[in-house]
Amino acid sequence: MKRHVDGRLITGLLLLGAGILALIGQFTSGGWSAFVGTFLLLGLGLTFLALGIYTREDGWFIPGGILTGLGSGVALLASPLINRLPGEEGGWFLILFALGWFLIPVMTAIFSDETHWWAFIPGGIIGLVGAAITFGGVFMSTLTWAGKLWPLVLIALGLLSLWKARRPAAEKDETLQEKQA
């Protein structure tokens, strides 16, 4: 059952609170500033995800997934764990950011009436770039080939779109001829 929550009110309050915390964090030193900078995005993302679960409205999961991915990446970069992981730091950030995008279709499939499958596209691209930066090897080769072959995908999609645009017109002509006969 969906619960109605005024999204503008909640979003406004969240952004106002986040802005105040970020502003205070700029004028403080030490632990508070680092804490705010590290966990503000993650906290906002988790709040949006919680609102999506509570209201069962799919719109909350989009900023929730994106901010949770960004916040997780920032938190990892600020933690000592990053020094123990193989590969490049920036690649790990992108991998966590991609996982945030993957949260969107997963959470909407579980908690709402509409599933946002499209989010796998940016998540997959960001994840591939992150894996290429982090691990190199076959991931970097795949990324290099994707960089060379992406125009072919555009050409194929353009041809498919033109073919589909032609079909309804031909079907309409046949239907019109049948009605006239």
Q: What is the pLDDT of residue 109?
A: 96
Q: What is the pLDDT of residue 175?
A: 65
| 35-39 average pLDDT score | 73
Q: How many Cβ atoms sit within 10 Å of the Cβ of residue 93?
A: 22
Q: Is residue 145 part of a domain?
A: no
Q: What is the pLDDT of residue 52?
A: 92
pLDDT at 58 over 80: yes
Q: Is residue 142 part of a domain?
A: no
Q: Let me know: does 56 contact 3? Beta carbons within 8 Å.
A: yes
Q: Is residue 27 part of a domain?
A: yes
Q: Is residue 181 part of a domain?
A: no
Q: Let me know: does 61 contact 45? Beta carbons within 8 Å.
A: no
> Which residue has tokens 């970069």?
77
Q: Please state the domain count of the chain.
A: 1
Q: Is residue 153 part of a domain?
A: no
Distance CA 100, CA 67 (A): 7
- Domain carrying residue 89: 7-135
Phi and psi (nearest 5°) for 5? -130, 135
Element holding 57 (H helix, E strand)? none
Q: Is residue 164 part of a domain?
A: no
Question: b/e for 51-64, b at 16 or more Cβ within 10 A?
Answer: bbbebebbbbbbbb
pLDDT tens by residue, 119-149: 999 999 999 899 999 988 888 888 888 888 8
Element holding 149 (H helix, E strand)? helix 137-180
pLDDT tens by residue, 59-108: 999 999 999 999 999 889 888 898 999 888 999 999 999 999 999 999 99
Q: What is the pLDDT of residue 31?
A: 66
Distance CA 116, CA 81 (A): 32
